[in-house]
Amino acid sequence: MDVSIAKPPLQHICSRLAENQARMESELSNCQDIHFEAWTYGADQQHEAMTVYCSSLVNMNKNHFIMHTLLEMIHHQTGISAPITPKLISDYLHNHGGSTQPFCLITTLNDAYDYILEGYIVIFLDEWDQAIGYPTEGPATRLVTEPVNEPVVHGPREGTVENMETNLGMLRQRIKNSQFKIEFFTAGSEIKSKIAFGYLKHVVNPEVLAEFRNRIKGIEQYEVLETSYIEDWIEDSHYTPFPQVRYTERTDSAAAALLDGKIIVMVENSPMILICPALFVEFLGTGEDYYVRTVFASFIRLLRLIAFTIALTLPSIYIALSTFHPELIPTVLLLAILDTREGIPFAAFVEALIMEFLFELLREAGIRLPRPVGSAVSIVGALVIGQAAIMAKIASPIMVIVVALTGIASFAIPHYDIAIAIRVLRFPFMIASALLGGFGLMAIALLTLLHLTCLQALGQPYLSSFAPLKIRDLRDMFIRVPLQYFLRSPRNRRIHRRGRRDRIS
């Protein structure tokens, strides 16, 4: 969404309250949740003031007496018995900066609009060319709960929410280090999305950070509604099915990524944390791998690798063997397959294509329906359609088994983005197997591997640490060695490597 609207000219707050009110009411007309409350103060109530706030963003039950509290504090702390005047309030705020709540001084109406729409209470005083902005307690938001998309058996259960400050607070609780840097900027002239990105300064690769800054340069001109919008600016290739960033709703996973030299990105009103750059092997692991014993973590990772291979190639292997290479199938199994395929009017490729299409349709329908209904529809639909297809001689039982195993294997892959990539690639693999058999399967597998080898994420090789090969990183790839052998703080890693070099020399 390209926005080419020029910024409005600055409108400075004038010292006449009536003029400020007229200009604001004109700008905020037809915004019926914006309230203008006039009141007076002073010895004879001779001074006029106005409070402006957005009722849908402000809880006025708890924030209604802010200004009255300030006036009482001026009397109490300064000991001045003279009547309260706009000049006295101005001098007190500039000299003492005192109030029971933090505040900011606003000099332009443009800033006043922004503060009001961010949930501030803005107070205008007659005979003063500034306004006072107070942050308030906003509307209720979703509480911190267990992540929906990343359930765990062991480990922390706190998940991110739509409030960025809450998410940053949970990250700060995990990384108590001044080297954890957070930078903010605003995108969009209409929605003004607040965006933050963070990194560990002494861990992140300076070249990667510089490349990240260069790619998001100019994003302020666009309307960014969700964290995933930023992916288009970060990724190296827009047309590859393989994701080059990953997402998480778990603060422990985000903290682990920061310790690994990654950059995290957050957008206000979005619970997802974007982690970049993302490498291929990272999509086969989860944060829970570090909360279980080494044997279990290694076994589960190898199981996911097998599931990845099955989900990508099982239908293609079946098509290639049954169509071009039946001699490679054991005789007993081949006879069983031929017996089940008797009366099927379609070739193996067409049969697999129909069943895969129906399975994907059921899966998508199950996701879009309400959760209690969606799971029932997907399970019952798969059973009914599978059985009906067998009885109608549209599909063979062995094909239903192949498609079911493929679907189960894809569910074992922990990250949704890489699972979608497998679902997309499965069809080209099937087409290649239907055209050239095993040779076609091998050819497209090599082309996919070549594509992965050439692919980069923020300038980093996508298949790192395999291409180029890094022996030390293999300790935490498809197997996981005991944590004591690689789980060091970044500073201790450098000291350890320097000590080893000294001993060698």
Which pair of structure tokens corresponds to residue 98? 């005192």
Per the domain annotation, does 423 fall within a domain?
yes
Question: pLDDT by residue (tens digit) across 355-364?
Answer: 888 888 888 8
Which H or E run contains 48?
strand 47-54
Strand-strand pairing, 456-457 and 273-276: unpaired
Does 183 lie in the same domain as 69? no
Provide the pLDDT for residue 87: 79
Q: CA-CA distance, 259 to 204, in Å (whole number)?
A: 8
Does residue 61 have a pLDDT over 70? no
Does residue 452 have a pLDDT over 60? yes
Residue 472's φ and ψ, nearest 5 degrees, are -60, -35
Number of structural domains (the chain) is: 3
Among 251, 278, 305, the domain-final residue is 278
Asked whether 205 and 195 are in contact (CB, 8 A), the reply is no
Closest CA to 415 of 228, 281, 268: 281
Among 116, 135, 154, the domain-final residue is 135
Asked whether 73 and 100 are in contact (CB, 8 A), the reply is yes
Does 126 lie in the same domain as 188? no
Residues whose CB falls within 8 Å of the CB of residue 504, separated by 6 or more in sequence, listed in order: none
pTM above 0.85, yes or no: no
Distance, C-alpha 43 to centroid of its chain: 55
Among 231, 253, 278, the domain-final residue is 278
Around Cβ 287, how many Cβ atoms within 10 Å? 21
Q: How confident is the model at residue 490 (pLDDT cuts 50, 70, 90)?
A: low
Does 268 lie in the same domain as 302? no
Closest CA to 277 of 229, 243, 322: 243
Does residue 62 have a pLDDT over 60? no
Residue 419's φ and ψ, nearest 5 degrees, are -65, -40
Per the domain annotation, does 9 fall within a domain?
no
Does residue 99 have a pLDDT over 70? no
Does 71 lie in the same domain as 31? yes
Residue 114's φ and ψ, nearest 5 degrees, are -65, -45
Across the chain, mean pLDDT equals 84
Question: pLDDT by residue (tens digit) across 239-284?
Answer: 899 999 999 999 999 999 999 899 999 999 899 999 999 999 899 8
DSSP state letters, 287-338:
GGGGSS-HHHHHHHHHHHHHHHHHHHHHHHHHHHHHHT-GGGS-HHHHHHHH
Around Cβ 463, how many Cβ atoms within 10 Å? 17
Instruction: Tokens 């790839």: give the residue.
Output: 477
Per the domain annotation, does 498 fall within a domain?
no
Q: CA-CA distance, 364 to 431, in Å (whole number)?
A: 22
Per the domain annotation, does 494 fall within a domain?
no
Helix (H, G, I), strand (E, B) or coil at 497: helix
Percent of the chain topping pLDDT 70: 86
Per the domain annotation, does 287 fall within a domain?
no
Does 129 lie in the same domain as 172? no
Identity of the residue numbered 225: L
Please tell me what DSSP assigns to residue 472: G
Per the domain annotation, does 73 fall within a domain?
yes
> How much is the average pLDDT of 366-380?
70
Does 456 lie in the same domain as 420? yes
Question: pLDDT by residue (tens digit) across 293-352?
Answer: 889 989 999 999 999 999 999 999 999 999 999 988 888 888 888 888 888 888 889 989
Residue 233, CA distances (Å) to 261, 334, 420, 459, 501 in order:
20, 51, 20, 13, 40
Helix (H, G, I), strand (E, B) or coil at 182: strand
Does 90 lie in the same domain as 176? no
Q: CA-CA distance, 100 to 329, in Å (whole number)?
A: 80
Residue 226's φ and ψ, nearest 5 degrees, are -150, 160
Beta strand extents in 188-313 (DSSP E only): 193-200, 246-248, 263-267, 273-276
Which pair of structure tokens corresponds to residue 328? 């490679």
Which H or E run contains 460?
strand 460-461
Does 312 lie in the same domain as 378? yes
Q: CA-CA distance, 180 to 390, in Å (whole number)?
A: 58
Please tell me what DSSP assigns to residue 207: H
Identity of the residue numbered 467: A
Provide the pLDDT for residue 246: 94
Does 302 lie in the same domain as 274? no
Per the domain annotation, does 421 fall within a domain?
yes
Does residue 366 have a pLDDT over 80? no
Identify the domain containing residue 130 by its residue range: 17-135
Does 120 lie in the same domain as 39? yes
Does residue 49 have a pLDDT over 50? yes
Does 393 lie in the same domain as 450? yes
Does 118 lie in the same domain as 48? yes
**230-235-236 Cα angle (round to 5):** 150
Please tell me what DSSP assigns to residue 187: E
Residues whose CB falls within 8 Å of the CB of residue 288, separated by 6 or more in sequence, listed in order: 152, 153, 154, 155
Question: pLDDT by residue (tens digit) across 156-205?
Answer: 888 899 888 889 999 998 998 888 999 999 898 888 889 999 999 989 99
Q: Which of 15-29, 97-111, 401-415 has the lowest mean pLDDT?
A: 97-111
